[in-house]
């Protein structure tokens, strides 16, 4: 596992920049949030990969892969994955660009431990990544709603801006607050999230805290973080509702018309190449 300062693909892509620690009541809330994240993902990690073997998951992976194709195609691109988990992002990037320099981050030691194949990684919360030097990434990814698990969305987007090289792009996925899966759920008001197919248990199995977003909120957050929003799309309105392969196209068509009804919102942002917006 990579540590700050290591060389990956012959280049130093991580350098110690210092980590800012949040104090006071805000710091207490963040520590509690992060502790709940670590507990939940440690609880679900042994079964996580097996939960995503369905035909629907395969279709979702293929859709995301196509969205990433034009972003990570540059040879020797530095790709930073803010929620690397068990390695799906690593596998998708490797399939698209064998020369890419990939570095994964994740708050969960247990999720990273079951990644196959292993990859350079740093254990840290995605909105507290001062261990990575500024302007290091050509591409940043945060796949399959993982952007919703950061305790402070504004801090997350600020870090995305800091890490991106001028002209660099980020592909971020978050939960939609108006998703059909929430409207039809008996538990639609819940503030915690349970990964697909995982039973709701006691203690650590109660779920992970999340933020959910509208398209308007994402536009505002991008603007406040000095990032240019290039695109925002819903993946599929039937994710978490009726995951039958034959309904995939129907769910996609509705997502195109009404993105906010999708389980997830997928956005692409860019750091402006102009030096006066750095």
The answer on pLDDT for 13 being more than 70 is: no
Q: How confident is the model at residue 6 (pLDDT cuts 50, 70, 90)?
A: very low
Average pLDDT, the chain: 87
DSSP code of 203?
A: G
First to last CA, the chain: 31
The answer on pLDDT for 259 being more than 90 is: yes
Token pair in block for residue 91: 């596998």
DSSP code of 20?
A: P
Half-sphere exposure of 201 (CA within 13 A, CB side): 12
What is the Cα 200 distance to its own chain's centre?
22
Q: Are 167 and 138 in contact (CB under 8 A)?
A: no
Helix (H, G, I), strand (E, B) or coil at 142: strand
Token pair in block for residue 201: 């248990």
Instruction: For the domain covering 22-277, report its CATH number.
Output: 3.40.50.150
Q: What's the whole-number mean pLDDT along residues 155-179?
A: 96
The answer on pLDDT for 19 being more than 60 is: no
Least confident segment among 50-59, 179-188, 223-232, 258-267: 179-188
The answer on pLDDT for 95 being more than 70 is: yes
Q: Which of 27 and 115 is assigned the larger pLDDT?
A: 115
Q: What is the pLDDT of residue 168?
A: 96
- How is the chain split into domains, by residue range? 22-277
Q: What is the pLDDT of residue 27?
A: 78
Dihedral (Cα; 76, 81, 87, 88), 10-degree rounding: -90
Give tens-digit pLDDT for 186-241: 555 456 787 876 655 545 557 899 999 999 999 999 999 999 999 999 999 999 89
Q: What is the pLDDT of residue 5?
A: 42
pTM of the model: 0.88
């Amino acid at each position: 596992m990579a540590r700050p300062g290591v060389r990956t693909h012959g280049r130093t892509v991580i350098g110690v920049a210092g980590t800012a620690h949040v104090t006071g009541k805000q710091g207490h809330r963040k520590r509690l949030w992060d502790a709940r994240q670590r507990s939940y993902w440690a609880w679900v990690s042994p079964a996580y990969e097996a939960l995503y073997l369905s035909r629907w998951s395969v279709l979702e992976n293929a859709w995301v892969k196509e969205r990433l194709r034009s972003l990570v195609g540059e040879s020797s691109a530095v790709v930073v994955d803010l929620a690397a988990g068990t390695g799906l992002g690593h596998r998708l990037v490797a399939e698209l660009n064998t020369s890419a320099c990939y570095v994964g981050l994740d708050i969960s030691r247990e999720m990273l431990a079951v990644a196959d194949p292993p990859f350079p990684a740093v254990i840290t919360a995605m909105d507290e990544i001062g261990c990575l030097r500024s302007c290091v990434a050509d591409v940043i990814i945060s796949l399959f709603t993982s952007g919703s698990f950061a305790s402070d969305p504004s801090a997350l987007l600020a870090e995305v801006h800091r890490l991106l090289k001028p002209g660099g792009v980020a592909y971020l996925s978050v939960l939609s607050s108006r998703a059909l899966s929430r409207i039809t759920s008996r538990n639609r008001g819940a503030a915690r999230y349970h990964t697909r197919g995982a039973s709701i248990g006691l203690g650590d199995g109660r779920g992970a805290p999340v933020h959910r977003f509208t398209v308007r909120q994402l536009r505002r957050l991008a603007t406040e973080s000095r990032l240019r929003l290039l695109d925002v799309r819903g993946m599929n309105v039937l994710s978490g509702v009726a995951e039958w392969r034959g309904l995939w196209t129907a769910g996609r068509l509705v997502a195109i018309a009404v993105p906010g009804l999708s389980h997830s919102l997928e956005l692409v942002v860019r750091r402006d190449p102009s030096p006066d917006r750095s």
